[in-house]
Structures are given as structure tokens and as C-alpha cells.
Amino acid sequence: MTTIRLKIRRRERPDTSGYWEEFDVPYRQHMNIISALQAIRRSPVNAAGETTKPVVWESNCLEEVCGACTMVINGKVRQACSALVDKLEQPITLEPMSKFPCVRDLIVDRSAMFSTLKKIRAWIPIDGTHNLGPGPKIAPSVQEKAYEYSRCMTCGCCVEACPQFNDRSPFIGAFAFGQVELFNSHPTGALNKYERLDAIMGQGGITDCGNAQNCVRACPKQIPLTDAIAGLGWETTKRAIHKLLK
Amino acid sequence: MAAKPQFVVIGGGLAGLMTTIKIAEAGFPVQIFSTVPCRRSHSVCAQGGINASVNTKGEGDSPQQHFYETILGGDFLANQELPKGMCEAAPAIVFMFDRMGVQFNRTPEGNLDFRRFGGTLYHRTAFAGSTTGQQLIYALDEQVRRHEAGGLVQRFEGWEFLSPVSADGPRCVGVVAQNLHTMEIRAFRADAVIMATGGVGAIYGRSTNSVNCTGSAQSACYQQGAVYANGEFIQVHPTAVPGEDKTRLISEGVRGEGGRVWVPKDGKPWYFLEEWYPKYGNLVPRDVASRAIYKIVYELKLGVNGQPIVYLDVTHIPRDRLERKLAGILEIYEKFIGDDPAKIPMKVFPGVHYTMGGLWIDDRHMTNIPGLFAAGECDYQYHGANRLGANSLLSCVYGGMVAGPAAVVYAKGLTNGAYAPPPSLLEQAARREREYTARLLKMDGPENPHILHDAMGKMMIEHVTVVRHNKSLEATDSQLCELQQRWQKIGLPDRGGWANAEVLFARQLYNMLQLARVITRGALARNESRGAHYKPDFPDRNDAEWLKTTKASWTADGPRLEYEPVNIKYIEPKLRSYV
Ligand SMILES: Cc1cc2nc3c(=O)[nH]c(=O)nc-3n(C[C@H](O)[C@H](O)[C@H](O)COP(=O)(O)OP(=O)(O)OC[C@H]3O[C@@H](n4cnc5c(N)ncnc54)[C@H](O)[C@@H]3O)c2cc1C
Ligand code: SF4
Ligand code: SF4
């Protein structure tokens, strides 16, 4: 095999309609989708031999830890850097994520996820960055559990796969529950756990989850999102009852 | 004072975020710019950990010892004031992250756990699984988000810094930046600007750095009069995996947990680092290990299967321990190469990794242009001629802790009104950049900018990394000049006005070529061997002539080099040896 065939869903601007364009790219051992896109940039000619504009995409770390290069590859949402060509069936289709506004080609605008992080108060309200000594002691077993949640890279795979999440629904998405779980399980974070619980109650919150479990299967970091959803479902119910009785 | 001072931070990695928090804590508004959302900055890549001499293992470790090893590791080229402050502040920095909720690994008692890293005999490196950088940057990003919710911080994510704006004096009074999607170019006024734009790995084409570590921003400052220091000091990490799109790092943490480096010799594994350096073994500093691997491959011709490859082996470590301590790191290897490192030794080779040089700054982190500060990997302080593992996250955070408050002091000291630049000055600066962009968009020559980039990277890796010869450095410099000529003949494959990555890349490439010459000419001039800079024709360190900082200034004829003495106030230079 000397070349590989890519079929890319393109779009010039948010307000123009999308179209498919195909490319043949020289094959190299161990190549990933990023290196295929880089090859197009070096020689922006499509499979019909016509000169075209190079395809644009987002990426940064290329180690599957920054979350930037997420796209839909052969129908599955994942990171382009860790998508090895040898393991993909051809033609390889590349599409932008569908649950976020498309900016151009494979670039989407995921700022809604960052706004959600603000809404759920995904931080520990420390007194300041001056020296106040170490934090609370934490058992290794507790750390190991929390560490799983701490690896969420805001990539959006979980929400792309979720049937409840789309640009017409207020549902905030599974990653947010993972983050609430992370902060609420920390001894200091727990001091404000009700603020976070309140933020995921009501419209767009945890009760909107249909329990399809697509999210946990799509998460590249194997974050136990459904555990978080189950735990928080119970926590928020308790909180709701408590509020009612008050 | 009538109006509150305004601050602009360029870069949302650890250094930029820490700077931002410090300014916001002082009660001042900050605008923070980053090409990618801050939490996708290169700092996420750091796997191994962050140093702090907390001495939790009762080994007698101390900040003084940390300081000494940092200076020794840097082969005495670092000015000693800031590193001393950094090592003293390190325990408090790690505790700060602990309070922010970073999920550091723990001891059975629930304390922070520490591991060993290169260049030390102590357990000094705190770590959060194998994604320490990711955890640290998230912690700071979250705190910045909190200040954002509180109204002090405004984020400009998806904006690229193009150039600083200078008023007469000279003095930095703002920046010009461009939106990556709308392509809008705008000037932003600021009383102080802090650059925190990271390393320059992309000058070498493929490195362990992230895609946006181009050094383009530093170069733009340099071209406007900021001095660039110690450019020739580039760290090549001994254990990386070359790939088509990037070189992926296998962290020193792997050796810290017992990983061994070997090549087959006479049918048996030869653990050459352990044999050559019995005291430090596999954990000699990076420059020493990289040179040893070059010697194995190119001099002794013992590379695996005759290729530029050595083994990094963890197959002797129990799987549960690997999973607990190194899961993320080994996962990267398995994911990108397809072999399971617990079963098959990893194939590695040195790769360009860290930029010791950077924008020249004083002990307050201010460049030679008043009002323009720098912090993090883009400054030149702290690491001298070679950086110790796990010292960088620390220096980035500490740098932000110094730069933020120093910028506040500076801005408060400006007499009100007298220094306010006329608005037309900012508008002019923005117009200049718009005109430049318009010219770029019209370029329709035969050269493809990405192919020029490949050519630059290939040449820099071959001649300006582990082993350096004056003849090839000279040839490299003249080829860089040729590439600059060819740059004038590039054609932009995209002339559109929306999310046009090509026009931004053309600009970055121009800037990279400028800095590539600073690196190469600095290396050519320095006729000695020190830390990461090694010349077989001048194999020894030469303190009499070269215990000094290289300072490059931009001129139309290429970089002009000057030198200044190194501050060796606390520790007398001595021979650096790890045998
Ligand atoms: C693979 C790898 C592993 C590492 N592991 C460790 C480790 O274990 N321990 C350790 O101490 N160090 C480690 N390092 C080094 C450390 O990660 C970096 O030195 C450090 O993170 C740099 O942080 P920074 O804040 O200076 O820059 P970065 O994190 O690189 O951030 C730079 C910021 O500047 C922005 N930017 C750049 N140019 C522009 C522009 N023109 N306009 C606007 N914004 C711009 C970027 O978007 C980004 O936000 C590692 C490095 C690599 C490559
Ligand atoms: S369980 Fe289903 S509905 Fe709920 S977040 Fe996951 S994918 Fe969406
Ligand atoms: S939870 Fe997983 S899939 Fe969702 S954003 Fe985080 S890392 Fe991505």
C-alpha cells in the first residue's frame, strides 16, 4: 500500500454548507491521522488532482492529553493523534464533532464546556496562594479513585456520544458530573459540595441524563462517568429532600 | 491614581496562569491570551513531576541541597539569585497545589509521596500519577476561572499574540493580537505585559513539545529589541520515541521507578549507563545520558539492529507497580507504538525537549524593555546550561509568582497620566500588523511554508543538538539565511479571511527562522562544552572565557552577540561529574 484515502467533511465558514472532499496521502509506517492531515498541508491537492485549500483542524500536545484534536473518525468520536492509520478501515472518514458549532472544517467551538466548568464551580476555593502549609491528608485509596476523575481533558467525546446532549438542549453533559464528583470527594472541596450539587440540579442537570451510558464508553480516559452519575443522582435526591423539608 | 493599572499576560500554561492569579490576588484586572484554551497548553504534557525538598523520606534532603544540585546540573551557567528563591519556595508551591486539590500520589500515612528523578540521589519529585503537568495546569486554570467568575480576569483564548507595542523610552504599553477564527487584529493597552509563551521546540520540526511551542512570540519581542539569552542551550531528552508527527517523550519517571537503559552487546544486555556512571546509573542528568546514547549509536555502532535506537526496559518491574506509578506514561507508548512495555523493552532515542535559553530577564523577571516581563520556559533564568528533570514545572510556577507581583509593583510605580500612551500609538501598531497580514495573504510564490519548516527542522536536529561542530554550525547558519530568502517566495495555499491557519503559520515560520539563527550563532560562538552544549573540538568547560551569559540582539544583519558575567554569589563553580 503506498497511499491511503481520506474522506473529509469540510466547511468554509459556520454559515456555509458542508461538503465532502477526498484525499490520497502517502502511507508511512505508524502514521496517525494528524500526520495524514499534515501531509495534506504540505501538498494541498485532492484525490481528483485539484489544488484545494489545506484542511484545518485543532491540535496541540499530540499525546492524547490536551483534548484539542477530537473529531469523528470513521463514525467514532476520538482524538486524531492517537488514531493510528494501520488500525482504521479505508477510506477513512473525518468529520467535525456534531454537537458543537462548527467553525471551519474539523474545528468546532467547545466553549460551552468551559462555561459549564464555571457554572458547576469546578475549583477548590482556597484562601490564597500564599504559604499555608500542606493540604489535608488523603488515603492512597481515596487518591487513586479521585485521580481517575482528575484526568478529564474536556475533550467532549462523552457529550458527542450522548443522546441527551445537543445544541438545542440545556443538558450540561457527563464530564460535568465527573468534575463535580472530583471536587466533592476532596476534603476541602466537600466544604462547598452543596453549591456544586445545586448547580447540577434542575433544568439541564443530572435528572436529564437518560442513563444510556454512551458517555462512559466514549471516554478516552476511561473516566467512570456512570459511577459519578449514580452517586450524584443519590446525593442530589438527598439534597432535594433536605431542601423540601427546610 | 485615576485608573487602575491594566495587565496583559500572554500564555496560559503554568507560568501565565500563575502570573494571572498573582495579579488578580493583588486586586488588579488581567487579560490573559492563549492560542489554545489555557487548559490545552503544553504544560499538560508534563508527566514526571515537580521538585520540592520536603524530605518526607527522612533522607536529609533540603532546599539548599536542591539549590546546589540545580546549579550543578546547569553546569554553573545559571545566575544564582532566582534559582535559590525557587528551591526555597518549592515546598510551599507543592503544598499550594495540594491545597488546590491536585491529586498527588500519597504515602500510606496520607502524606505526599515523592519519587527520584535525574541528577539527584534524593526522593524529591512530587507526582500525580503520570499526568502531573495536566493536574497542575488544571488546578491553576480552575483558580483563574474562579477569578474570572469574580470579574477580575478576562480570557482571550483563541487569540495569537503578534507583537508588543512600544512607546518611546522604550517602554512596553500593550500588545497586538489576532483572533484565530475571525482573523480580527486588535491592539490592547497594558501598563505591563508578561510573556509566558513556553518553549521553542517547533524550530526543530519534531520535538517533544506541543504544536504551538514555536517561539514565535518570543521572536517577535526579540525583533523589537528584547534581548534573547543563552539561545544555544537546548535540552535533548535521552528517552523519546520518534514519530511522523512528533517525538514523544518517555518520562524520566520511568527510570526513577527503576527503568534500565541497555543495548545488546555480545548477545547480552549491556547496561552502559550503569557501568559508566555507577553512582547515578540510569539517572544521570539528561545531557550526560543523551551523549552516552549518541556514543553508543554513532561511535560504538551498537544501536539496536544498527539503528539509532536503544532499549528502555521496565519488563523486570512487577505489573501492578507499573500500573500504579507509570500507567499513563506506558499507555502513551502502547497507544502510539502498539507494543506493551511491560512485555517488550521500549525503543527510544534522544529528542529535542526543553529550551533553557529565552528572553533575557532581570531578577524581577523584567526584560530589557521596561514594562515587558517574561516567565516560564520562555525566559532564560533558572536552568543554566541544562535543566534537571521536574525543575521546570517548578520554575514556571515560581517565575509566575515573581513576575506577577513585580509587574504590579512596576505598574503602580508609573506616574499616572504621564506614561499613558496616546491611543493613536496602539492603533498604528494594529494597522501595521493588518497591513503585514494583507501582504502575507498576497504571497503567491512557489515555496510551501510547511516544506521550508521541515527543512529547517531537519537541519537543526542534525547540527544543533547533542554534538556540535563549528563547520556544520557555520553551514547551518548560512542555510538558515537561504531559507529566509526562500521564505520570501512562499505562496499561501489559503487566502481566505476566516480561520486561516496558513497565514498565521507563515508568520510563525518567519519568526522561527530568526530564532533559529540566534540558537545557531550562539552555539557557533561558544567554544567550550557546558551542559547541553557539547563540542568535541572543545570538550571541556572553560570558565575563564565562557562563564557568561550569551545575549543576542536583533539587527538587520542577523543576531549581535554580547556577553555578561554570571552571578555566582552563593556557590563556587566546581567540576561537574556524575561518575
Ligand atoms: C513531554 C514533556 C514532559 C515534561 N515533563 C516535565 C516534568 O515531568 N516535570 C517538569 O518540571 N517539566 C516537564 N516538562 C517541561 C514543562 O512541561 C514545560 O517546561 C512547562 O510546562 C512550560 O510551561 P509554560 O507555562 O512556560 O509554557 P506552556 O505550557 O508551553 O504554555 C505556553 C502558553 O503560551 C501560549 N502561546 C504561545 N504562543 C502564543 C502566542 N503567539 N499568542 C498567544 N499565546 C501563545 C500557549 O497557548 C500556551 O498557553 C515536560 C515537557 C515535555 C515536552
Ligand atoms: S448516561 Fe447517557 S444520557 Fe447520561 S450522560 Fe451518559 S450518555 Fe448522556
Ligand atoms: S469525561 Fe472523558 S470524554 Fe468527557 S470530556 Fe472528560 S475526558 Fe473527554
Q: What is the ipTM of this complex?
A: 0.96
What's the pLDDT at B1?
A: 41
Q: Find out whether the peptide bond into A125 is cis, omega within 30 degrees of 0.
A: no
Chain A CB contacts of B25 under 8 Å are: 128-129
pLDDT at residue number B417: 55
What is the distance between the alpha carbons of residues A125 and B400, in angstroms, rounded to a whole number? 20
**Pairing between β-strand B228-229 and β-strand B358-359 as defined by DSSP bridges:** antiparallel
Rounded to a whole number of angstroms, the CA Rg of chain B reads: 23
pLDDT of residue A31: 92
Residues A118 and A213 in one domain: yes
Report the gap between the CA of A101 and the closest CA in chain B (Å): 13
Contact B248 A62 (CB under 8 A): yes
**Using a CB-CB distance cutoff of 8 angstroms, which residues of chain A are in contact with residue B157?**
111, 114
Identify which ligand lies nearest to the alpha carbon of A178.
3
Share of chain A above pLDDT 70, in %: 100
Q: Whose CA is nearest to atom 5 of ligand 2?
A: A174
Q: Which element (helix H / strand E) includes B193?
A: strand B192-195
pLDDT digits (tens, 9 = 90+) for B326-341: 877 788 898 888 889 9
At the top level of CATH, which class does the domain B237-351 belong to? alpha beta
Which of A108, A140, A175 terminates a domain? The answer is A108
Q: Domain check: are A214 and A125 in the same one?
A: yes
CA–centroid distance, A65 to ligand 3, in Å, is: 11
Statement to judge: residues A139 and A162 lie in one domain: yes
Domains in chain B: boundaries: 7-233+356-419, 237-351, 424-544
How is residue B299 annotated by DSSP?
Answer: I
Residue whose CA lies nearest to ligand 3 atom number 1: A175
| Residues A120 and A229 occupy one common structural domain | yes
Backbone φ, ψ for residue A55 (5° rounding)? -75, 140
Residue nearest to atom 21 of ligand 1 (CA): B43
Asked if the Cβ–Cβ distance from B448 to A42 is below 8 Å, we say: yes
Q: How confident is the model at residue A175 (pLDDT cuts 50, 70, 90)?
A: very high
Q: Does A51 touch chain B (CB under 8 A)?
A: yes
Min Cα separation B215/chain A (Å): 14
Q: Name the residue with cell 497542575.
A: B136
Contacts by B460-464, CB closer than 8 A, 24 or more apart: B460/B203, B460/B204, B460/B205, B460/B516, B460/B519, B460/B520, B461/B204, B461/B205, B461/B206, B461/B352, B463/B520, B464/B232, B464/B234, B464/B519, B464/B520, B464/B523
**Gap between the terminal Cα atoms of chain A:** 70
- Asked if A145 and A197 sit in the same domain, the reply is yes
| pLDDT range class, residue A1, cuts 50, 70, 90 | low
CATH code, A66: 3.10.20.30
B579 burial (CB, 10 Å; 0-12 / 13-18 / 19+) is exposed
Q: Which of B18, B131, B494 has its CB closest to that of A151?
A: B131
* Contact indicator for A227, A238 with CB cutoff of 8 Å: no
The answer to whether the beta carbons of residues B11 and B33 sit under 8 Å apart is yes
Helices (H) and strands (E) in chain A, counts: 8, 7
**Residues within a 6 A CB radius of ligand 3:** A 152-158, 175, 178, 218-219, 221, 223, 225
User: Between the CA atoms of B421, B423, B428 and B429, what dihedral angle is there, to the nearest 10 degrees?
Assistant: 60
Measure B449 CA to ligand 3 centroid, in angstroms.
Answer: 35
Of the CA atoms within 13 Å of residue B187, those in its CB half-sphere come to 22
C-alpha grid cell, residue B102: 491536585
Show which of residues 501-540 on chain B sit within 8 Å of chain A, judged by CB atoms. 501-502
Q: Do domains B7-233+356-419 and B424-544 have the same CATH topology?
A: no
Same domain, A54 and A147: no
Q: Does A178 share its domain with A116?
A: yes
Which candidate, A199, A152, A58, A120, places its Cα nearest to that of B138?
A152
CA angle B116, B118, B124 (to 5 degrees): 35
Confidence (pLDDT) at B330: 85
A137 and B109 in contact by Cβ < 8 A?
Answer: yes
Residues 121-180 of A with CB under 8 A from B: 121-126, 128-129, 131-135, 137-140, 143-144, 146-147, 150-151, 153-154
Strand runs labelled E in A30-168 = 70-73, 76-79, 92-95, 102-104, 107-108
Distance from C-alpha of B32 to C-alpha of B193, rounded to nearest angstrom: 10
Interface test with A, best of B138, B140, B141, B250 (most A CBs within 10 A): B138
Q: Which of A29, A40, A65, A87 has the most B C-beta neighbours within 10 Å, making it the best mutation to test the interface with B?
A: A65
Distances in Å between the Cα of B211 and the Cα atoms of A43, A44, B214, B392, B412 are 19, 20, 7, 19, 36
Minimal-distance CA residue to ligand 1 atom 33: B11
Q: Are residues A100 and A121 both part of a single domain?
A: no
Which residues on chain A are in Cβ contact (under 8 Å) with B142?
117, 122-124
Q: Is B327 on the interface with A (CB under 8 A)?
A: no
Contacts 24+ apart (CB under 8 A), B53-56: B53/B87, B53/B90, B53/B91, B53/B122, B53/B124, B54/B91, B54/B94, B54/B112, B54/B114, B54/B124, B54/B126, B55/B122, B56/B107, B56/B111, B56/B112, B56/B113, B56/B114, B56/B123
Residue B104 touches partner A, C-beta closer than 8 Å: yes
Q: Determine, for residues B142 and A124 on separate chains, whether the beta-carbon distance falls below 8 Å.
A: yes
Are B110 and A138 in contact (CB < 8 Å)?
yes
Cβ–Cβ below 8 Å for B36 and A68: yes
Looking at residue B53, the DSSP 8-state letter turns out to be -
Structural contact between residues B313 and B260, judged by C-beta atoms closer than 8 angstroms: yes
- A45: contact with B, CB 8 A cutoff: no
Whether A213 lines ligand 2, by a CB cut-off of 6 Å, is yes
Which CATH number fits the domain that encloses residue A152?
1.10.1060.10
Question: Across chain A, which distance is largest between two alpha carbons, in Å?
Answer: 71
CA distance readout (Å), B3 to B119, B166, B372, B414, B417: 49, 20, 20, 12, 9
How many angstroms separate the CA atoms of B501 and B274, rounded? 47
List residues near ligand 1 (CB under 6 A): B 10-16, 33-36, 38, 41-43, 45-50, 132-133, 160-161, 196-198, 208-209, 212-213, 216-217, 249, 251, 353-354, 376-378, 390-393, 396
Q: Report CA(B100)–ligand 3 centroid distance (Å).
A: 21
Per-residue CA distances from B70 to A133, B215, B291, B395 (Å): 24, 25, 20, 11
The whole-number pLDDT of residue B573 equals 96
Helix (H), strand (E) at residue B192 = strand B192-195
Give per-residue burial for B529-568: e unless 16+ CB within 10 Å, then b: bbbbbbbeebeebebeebbebbbbbbeeebbebeeeebeb
**Residues of B with active-site annotation:** 286
A209 lines ligand 2 (CB under 6 A): yes
Residues A165 and A215 in one domain: yes
Give the count of alpha carbons within 13 A of B398, CB side only.
26
Q: Cell match 550526560: residue? A: B288
Residue contact A143–B448, C-beta within 8 A: no
Mean pLDDT of chain B: 95
Q: Which atom of ligand 2 is nearest to the CA of A214?
A: 7
Residues of B in contact with A131 (CB under 8 A): 92, 95-96
Test A134 with B99 for CB contact under 8 angstroms: yes
Cell 552544549 belongs to B533
Same domain, yes or no: A59 and A27: yes
A112 touches chain B (CB under 8 A): no
- In CATH terms, the superfamily for domain B7-233+356-419 is FAD/NAD(P)-binding domain (3.50.50.60)
SS3 A130: coil
Q: Give phi and psi for A8, each to the nearest 5.
A: -115, 135
For the residues of B138-186, what is the DSSP string, one character each?
Answer: HHHHHHHHHHHHTTSEEEEETEEEEEEEEETTTEEEEEEEEETTT--EE
Q: Which helix (H) or strand (E) holds B50?
A: strand B50-51
What is the rounded average pLDDT of the residues A7-27? Answer: 97
Residues (pLDDT < 70) of chain B are 1-2, 415-419
Residues A88 and A133 in one domain: no
Q: Same domain, yes or no, for A116 and A220?
A: yes
**Which residue type sits at A88?**
L
Contacts (Cβ under 8 Å, ≥6 apart) of A22: A5, A6, A7, A8, A46, A47, A48, A91
Q: Give, rounded to a whole angstrom, the gap between the first and last alpha carbons of chain B.
A: 59
CA distance B2 to chain A (A): 27
- Inter-axis angle of helices A33-42 and B449-463, to 10 degrees? 110
B337 touches chain A (CB under 8 A): yes
Tell me how far the alpha carbon of residue B4 is from its chain's centroid: 32
Residue from B507, B547, B215 nearest B374 by CA: B215
Q: Which amino acid is at A49?
A: G
Report which ligand 1 atom has the smallest distance to the Cα of B400: 25
What's the pLDDT score for residue B419?
Answer: 64
The one-character DSSP state at B345 is P
User: The pTM is what?
Assistant: 0.96
Q: Is B574 exposed, middle or buried (0-12, 13-18, 19+ CB in 10 A)?
A: exposed
Taking CB atoms and an 8 Å cutoff, what residues of chain A touch B101? 123-124, 135, 182-183, 186, 188-189
- For chain A, how many structural domains are there in total? 2
Print burial letters for B73-108: b (CB count within 10 Å at least 16), e (below 16).
bbbbbbbbebbbbbbbbbbbbbbbbbbbbbbbbbee
Sign of the four-CA dihedral B147, B153, B157, B162: negative
How many whole angstroms separate alpha carbon B392 and alpha carbon B11? 16
Considering the domain delimited by B424-544, tell me its CATH architecture: Up-down Bundle (1.20)
Ligand nearest to the CA of B10: 1
Q: How far apart are CA B448 and CA B242, in angstroms?
A: 24
- How close is the Cα of A66 to the center of ligand 3, in Å? 11
b/e for B503-525, b at 16 or more Cβ within 10 A? bbbbbbbbbbbbbbbbbbbbbbb
Kindly report the three-state secondary structure assignment for every residue of B424-493.
HHHHHHHHHHHHHHHHHHHCECCECHHHHHHHHHHHHHHHCCCCCCHHHHHHHHHHHHHHHHHHCCEECC
Q: Which of A108, A126, A142 is the last residue of a domain?
A: A108
Residue numbers of the domain that contains A119: 111-245
Beta bridge partners of B116: B123
Helix (DSSP H) and strand (DSSP E) numbers for chain B: 15, 21
Closest CA to A106 of A158, A153, A53: A53
Chain mean position to CA B227: 17
- How many CB atoms are closer than 10 A to CB A238? 11
In the listed set A90, A108, A126, which residue is the last one of a domain according to the structure? A108
A38: closest chain B residue by CA: B245
